């Protein structure tokens, strides 16, 4: 059976789970789903080989170059793996082939017997000799296959069916991507967990690997290290004091009570309450702009193409909370995980200084850049690049710096009752999007205005009208770009650009004047 056809013959069976359970019991080592699948495929190959060996016991594969005796059993791959018994041997007569022999073979097909003659001991070239020498041997076809290659040809289906059966069986538990029989776990008592907490406390909360924790609290002398690690992982995963913060494939532990508040609970400025809107209102040009902005809450479709670097534009909610968005681009850079939070190291691309970072997948942000933003005095609208560092778990954050110079910006005034903007000059030392950027005269007053708007429950439409009305007097044509509306509106309501553009299209108070610029035609 050729390797490309093996998928028709292999599948994970319920009976395989008992074999895998015994395998884990024997090894006393947790194994991943992939390792278990490879073990099953190797077992299947061994069984197929053994079946063929039994079926063709004392059988030789016919090769015209070999010699045979009466009574020998032969296998003929060219005849659909037919078998037969040699009943006679005589000299061959053909001057083109020199000296050779001819054997008579009785081939059996069900109840029929057919006699055929075949050349043997040929000294000249023949295609059947070449086929035999090139490994056309049904008896060794499975021995030549590699489990890794077979799994790679259908990995998703095999792993999925295996994990489904393992979960249904219930005798094995999965933790940190590995499986092990629950009955074999070392009992981790409360005292050991208290010690683990103390070790993490002394380490500043973490992160520490399970092995590092075990070495501090004392290893079990009579148990394999892998079993100890799995058992402690299982116990800590079921204790609310501990948080597993490693990327996929790496287990790291942290004390939840020592994690930053902005990691355990989404900062208020980043909380988005989904807004219902009709996406059919958005033109192709608007959808292109939405993709360009790449807000993490926009319903954009990404692909699996790997990238080396991603660029984002810093909006106010992320600037004030010291975070980065996990959008369709940056999520390809930062690690995936099976846990809600992942601990990483963020590296300043300007001077190499490092910061502790947290990837919060569920709420789509990376936390830990407050000091970075303050140090470089980065403006709202700054272009930031993100790339993987030289070491695993390290990620470089950088921007295009230049000598600080005064730039004209829209600036939100100190008015605490309504949104008002003016033109003013600010020192900026890095490349930015001039449609996204704006300044703030008084942060405390701005947040008081934000609280006033939210307490009064002013709708997003009203906020957009206020922004547009204030900005209309700052430009000759009295227009405002969608990006600018999006950027300033996100001070007061976290919102992707889609609902904002839908409001502009649907509300007669706004009129489009081209190139994503709008003007206010009527005011409240």
pLDDT tens readout for residues 190-199:
999 999 999 9
d(CA 497, CA 507): 15
Of 150-164, 343-357, 494-508, which range is least confident? Answer: 150-164
pTM recorded for the entire structure: 0.75
Helix then strand count (H, E) for the chain reads 16, 23
Q: Per the CATH hierarchy, to which homologous superfamily does domain 268-520 belong?
A: DNA-binding pseudobarrel domain (2.40.330.10)
- CB proximity list for 90: less than 8 A, separation 6 or greater: 101, 102, 104
Q: Is 14 exposed, middle or buried (0-12, 13-18, 19+ CB in 10 A)?
A: exposed
Q: Tell me the pLDDT of the chain averaged across its residues.
A: 87
So what's the pLDDT on residue 131? 59
Range 202-231 average pLDDT: 86
- Cite the beta strand spans of 230-376 per DSSP E: 242-244, 253-255, 309-313, 323-325, 341-348, 354-360, 365-367
Q: Which CATH class is domain 185-259?
A: mainly alpha
Higher-confidence residue: 29 or 387?
387
Residue 143 has pLDDT above 70, yes or no: no
Q: Which residues pair with 394 in a beta bridge?
A: 345
User: Where does the pLDDT of residue 1 fall: very low under 50, low under 70, confident under 90, or very high at 90 and above?
Assistant: very low
pLDDT at 392: 86
pLDDT at 2 over 50: no
> For residues 398 and 275, is the Cβ–Cβ distance under 8 A?
no
Taking the C-alpha atoms of residue 96 and residue 98, their distance in angstroms, rounded to an integer, is 6
Q: What are the tens digits of pLDDT across the range 431-490?
A: 999 999 999 999 999 999 999 999 999 999 999 999 999 998 888 888 999 999 999 999
Average of pLDDT values for 168-197? 84
State the average pLDDT over residues 148-155.
80
């Amino acid at each position: 059976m050729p390797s490309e056809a093996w998928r028709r013959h292999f599948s994970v069976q319920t009976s395989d789970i008992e074999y895998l359970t015994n395998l884990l019991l024997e090894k006393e080592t947790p194994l991943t789903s992939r390792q278990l699948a490879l073990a099953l495929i190797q077992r299947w190959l061994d069984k197929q080989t053994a079946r063929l060996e039994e079926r063709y016991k004392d059988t030789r594969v016919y090769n015209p170059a070999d010699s045979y005796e009466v009574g020998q059993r032969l296998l003929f791959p060219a005849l659909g793996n037919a078998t037969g018994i040699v009943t006679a041997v005589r000299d061959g007569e053909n001057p083109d082939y020199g000296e050779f022999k001819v054997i008579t073979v009785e081939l059996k097909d069900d109840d029929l017997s057919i006699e055929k003659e075949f050349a043997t001991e040929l000294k000249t070239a023949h295609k059947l000799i070449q086929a035999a020498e090139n490994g056309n041997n049904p008896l060794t076809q499975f021995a030549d296959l590699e489990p890794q290659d077979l799994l790679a040809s259908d990995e998703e289906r095999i792993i999925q069916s295996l994990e489904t059966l393992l979960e249904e069986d219930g005798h094995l538990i999965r933790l940190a991507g590995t499986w092990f029989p629950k009955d074999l776990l070392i009992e981790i008592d409360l005292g050991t967990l208290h010690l683990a907490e103390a070790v993490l406390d002394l380490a500043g909360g973490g992160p520490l690997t399970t092995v590092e924790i075990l070495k501090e609290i004392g290893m079990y002398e009579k148990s394999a290290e892998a079993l100890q690690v799995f058992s402690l992982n299982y116990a800590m995963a079921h204790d609310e004091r501990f948080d597993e913060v490693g990327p996929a494939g790496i287990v790291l532990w942290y004390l939840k009570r020592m994690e930053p508040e902005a990691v355990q609970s989404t900062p208020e400025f980043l909380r988005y309450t989904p807004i219902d809107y009709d996406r059919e209102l958005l033109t192709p040009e608007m959808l292109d702009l939405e993709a360009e902005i790449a807000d993490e809450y926009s319903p954009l479709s990404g692909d699996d193409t790997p990238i080396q670097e991603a660029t984002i534009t810093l909006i106010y909610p992320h600037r004030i909370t010291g975070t980065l968005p996990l959008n369709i681009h940056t999520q390809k850079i930062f690690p995936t995980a099976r846990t809600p939070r992942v601990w990483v190291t963020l590296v300043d691309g300007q001077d190499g200084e490092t910061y502790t970072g947290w990837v919060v997948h569920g709420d789509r942000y990376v936390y830990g850049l407050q000091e970075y933003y303050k140090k470089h005095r980065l403006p709202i609208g700054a272009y930031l690049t993100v790339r993987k560092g030289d070491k695993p778990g390290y990620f470089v954050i950088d921007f295009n710096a230049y000598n600080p110079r005064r730039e004209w910006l829209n600036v939100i005034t100190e008015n605490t009752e309504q949104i008002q903007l003016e033109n003013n000059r600010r020192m900026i030392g890095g490349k930015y999007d001039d449609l996204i950027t704006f300044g703030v005269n008084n942060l405390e007053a701005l947040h008081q205005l934000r609280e006033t708007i939210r307490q009064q429950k002013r709708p997003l439409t009203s906020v957009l009208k206020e922004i547009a009305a204030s900005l209309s007097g700052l430009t000759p044509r009295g227009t405002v770009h969608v990006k600018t509306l999006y950027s300033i509106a996100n001070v007061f309501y976290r919102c992707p650009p889609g609902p904002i553009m839908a409001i502009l299209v649907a509300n007669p108070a706004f009129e489009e004047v081209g190139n994503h610029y709008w003007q206010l035609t009527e005011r409240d």
